[in-house]
Amino acid sequence: MHISNADRARILVHALPYIQKYTGKIIVVKYGGNAMTNEKLKNSVMRDLILLSLVGVKVVLVHGGGPEITEMLAKVGKETVFVDGLRVTDKETVEIAQMVLSGKINKSLVNLIHNMGGKALGLSGVDGHMIEARMKDERLGFVGSITNVNVQPILDVIDKGYIPVISTIGCDNEGNIYNINADTAAAKIAGELHAESLISMTDISGILRDKDDPTTLIPRITVEEAPKLIEDGIISGGMLPKVECCINAINWGVHKVFIIDGRVSHSILIETLTDEGIGTMFLRENESTEG
């Protein structure tokens, strides 16, 4: 599709108020789903992050990698077992999770950002004891529940002009390593950073009143409205823990939280730099009245 220079100029002018709004502010992106495994979408996400960083937005990328962990476990002949939707993680499994998340995935994302002209530094929750955790449930083994987040390493990386790329591995003072749910970690990190927004990338378009009808997307939900939507069953199943993380993030200090469809190319830019947006925004009632 050909875009004239005049059209390009109009697009940039249209984006200016949004750039001004976010410049100097922190945006945390929870990266997962198809956008992590589809190379075209992965490139789109990284370009979005680089562009936002270049116009002065302080971008923080938090990633998971469950499918890659499962794949590596299969390669070493280790069966994956889940309890209540969470991976049972013994000592060997958590070592593999650390290798995959903090090694393979984290460093490949850092490398991709640099190859596209951005600047990134990889961190794991172990660095600077950034994510401290304890055992969530003895049945699950080394699956962690966050007890503390030290954001100073993240702020130091941002201040040097880099995008922090964070793998969600935690630790405790006894030397144990824990696998942390990426949605929970992103929400807690965003809250501790008092981020302007948290963007959670998923494989659905947002919260739908009718899960089988994409035209029923709910563009805005306040934290006050969310319990009723849960009670009515509109928010249910796999979306329930994600929405709980969104609500927690706002209660922890994030201004706005977005659930967006990572299958849409440049979905981050569409959400942050246009009037229409692309997913569901969570916010407080008083925030919504401010427009």
For the stretch 5-17, pLDDT in tens is 777 787 778 888 8
pLDDT at 81: 85
pLDDT at residue 289 above 50?
no
Question: Mean pLDDT highest for which of 42-46, 162-166, 198-202?
Answer: 162-166
Q: How confident is the model at residue 2 (pLDDT cuts 50, 70, 90)?
A: low
Nearest CA among 289, 146, 280 for reference residue 226 = 280
Stretch 205-224: mean pLDDT, rounded? Answer: 88
For the stretch 117-152, pLDDT in tens is 999 999 999 999 999 999 999 999 999 999 999 999
Q: How confident is the model at residue 1 (pLDDT cuts 50, 70, 90)?
A: low
DSSP string, 6-48: HHHHHHHHHHHHHHHHHTT-EEEEEE-THHHH-HHHHHHHHHH
Stretch 157-181: mean pLDDT, rounded? Answer: 96
Contacts of residue 29, Cβ cutoff 8 Å, sequence gap at least 6: 45, 49, 59, 60, 61, 62, 186, 198, 199, 201, 268
For the stretch 72-109, pLDDT in tens is 999 999 988 888 777 889 999 999 999 999 999 999 99
Question: What is the rounded distance in angstroms from the CA atom of residue 120 to the CA atom of residue 100?
Answer: 18
pTM of the predicted protein model: 0.92
Q: How confident is the model at residue 33 (pLDDT cuts 50, 70, 90)?
A: confident
For β-strands 131-135 and 120-124, DSSP reports them as unpaired
Own/partner pairs, 17-21, CB within 8 angstroms, 24+ separation: 18/272, 18/273, 18/274, 19/55, 19/56, 19/57, 19/273
Burial tier of 261 (Cβ tally within 10 Å: 0-12, 13-18, 19+): buried
Q: Which domains does the chain have, with CATH numbers?
A: 25-288 (3.40.1160.10)
pLDDT at residue 4 above 90?
no
pLDDT at 32: 85
Contacts of residue 291, Cβ cutoff 8 Å, sequence gap at least 6: none
Between CA 283 and CA 121, with CA 35 as vertex, the angle to 5 degrees is 85
pLDDT at residue 3 above 90?
no
pLDDT at 211: 80
* pLDDT, averaged across the chain: 90
